């Protein structure tokens, strides 16, 4: 488990992160979502032991990354830029990775390269941007590390490669017993795959969501009436959108009272729609957390 306890960081006199607390459970995907500049990269760099927090503690399986450097073999940070890799060839990088990650699985690495039609020779700098992004994930998932931290892994990529990458991550997490932290400014991308979402805002954890619990907690209902959309509903319930006589309302799963309000005006349509995380943020957390 990764634990952050009251972590704060100041860079060049500005407070970047303050009182950050959260945990990453084994075998799960945690999404860190926040706008540009929210502190996501700084947070991931601290968890992987690249920079020190000014205050608070970060532990990986109960050990400090800073006091026990061996812990680093179990944590891989994949930055949003692949610049650090570009001088190496596909073969050379293995030697380098084996020094840092002694359990690096070379067979698995070449197997994955085959699967995604990568050439086994040649320099990394010759790859396209999308290939580089996928390649850096292949490297990370070949290390056998328990914790993989991905900084904006799909940023700036086209939809096809984005889909491949997200699917690759989900498959690897299902196959290996790894924990993945993914930072993104796209709530919609993370919510499909994350078990747990941490929202960073103004340098601190604004909210945390367990996706399973959330889906059981709320439902989204589309209703339509023969008469103008009732003010009573507008005034008392969480209306996500409304056009003419049709509205979409967020209610709690077990909230019989709110459902009775919707039904008392004899809706001609009462239909449950798939719930998204954005719906809950918009209705319950002020709406400005939609960060894409």
Contacting residues toward ligand ATP, per CB under 6 A: 11-12, 16, 34, 36-42, 185
275: phi then psi, degrees, rounded to nearest 5: -85, 135
Residues 6+ away with beta carbon under 8 Å from 178? 27, 141, 145, 146, 147, 148, 172
Nearer to ligand ATP, 56 or 94 (CB): 56
Smallest gap from Cβ 213 to ligand ATP, in A, equals 26
Nearer to ligand ATP, 9 or 196 (CB): 9
Smallest gap from Cβ 138 to ligand ATP, in A, equals 23
Nearer to ligand ATP, 44 or 139 (CB): 44
69: phi then psi, degrees, rounded to nearest 5: -55, -25
DSSP H or E stretch at residue 18: strand 14-24
Nearer to ligand ATP, 12 or 272 (CB): 12
Nearer to ligand ATP, 36 or 107 (CB): 36
In 3D space, the residue among 156, 159, 203 whose CA is nearest the CA of residue 32 turns out to be 203
Smallest gap from Cβ 179 to ligand ATP, in A, equals 20
292: three-class secondary structure by DSSP: coil
Smallest gap from Cβ 15 to ligand ATP, in A, equals 9
Smallest gap from Cβ 150 to ligand ATP, in A, equals 12
Q: Are 49 and 87 in contact (CB under 8 A)?
A: no
Nearer to ligand ATP, 4 or 251 (CB): 4
Smallest gap from Cβ 42 to ligand ATP, in A, equals 3
Do the strands 55-60 and 238-243 form a parallel or antiparallel pair, or are they unpaired?
unpaired
Give first-to-last CA distance, the chain, whole Å: 29
Cα angle, residue 145 at apex, residues 144 and 150 outer, rounded to 5°: 115
């Amino acid at each position: 488990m990764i634990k952050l306890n009251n972590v704060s960081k100041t860079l060049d006199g500005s407070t970047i992160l303050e009182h950050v607390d959260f945990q990453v459970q084994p075998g799960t995907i945690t999404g860190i979502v926040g706008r540009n500049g929210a502190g996501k990269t700084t947070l991931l760099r601290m968890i992987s032991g690249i920079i020190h927090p000014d205050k608070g503690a970060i532990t990986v399986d109960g050990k400090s990354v800073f006091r026990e450097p061996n812990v680093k073999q179990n944590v891989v940070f994949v930055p949003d830029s692949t610049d650090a890799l570009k001088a190496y060839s596909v073969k050379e990088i293995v030697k380098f990775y084996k020094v840092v990650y002694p359990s690096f699985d070379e067979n698995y690495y070449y197997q994955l390269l085959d699967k995604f039609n990568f050439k086994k020779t040649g320099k990394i700098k010759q790859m396209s941007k999308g290939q580089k992004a996928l390649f850096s994930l292949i490297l990370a998932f070949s290390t056998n590390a328990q914790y993989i931290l991905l900084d904006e892994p799909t940023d700036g990529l086209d939809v096809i490669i984005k889909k491949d990458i997200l699917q690759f991550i989900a498959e690897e997490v299902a196959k290996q017993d790894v924990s993945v932290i993914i930072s993104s400014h796209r709530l919609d991308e993370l919510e499909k795959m994350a078990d747990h979402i941490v929202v960073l805002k103004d340098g601190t954890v604004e909210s945390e969501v367990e996706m399973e619990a959330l889906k059981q907690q709320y439902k989204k209902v589309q209703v339509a009436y023969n008469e103008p959309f009732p003010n009573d509903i507008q005034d008392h319930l969480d209306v996500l959108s409304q056009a003419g006589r049709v509205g979409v309302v967020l209610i709690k799963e077990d909230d019989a009272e709110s459902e009775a309000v919707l039904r008392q005006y004899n809706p001609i349509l009462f239909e449950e729609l798939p719930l998204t995380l954005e719906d809950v943020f918009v209705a319950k957390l002020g709406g400005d957390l939609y960060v894409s």
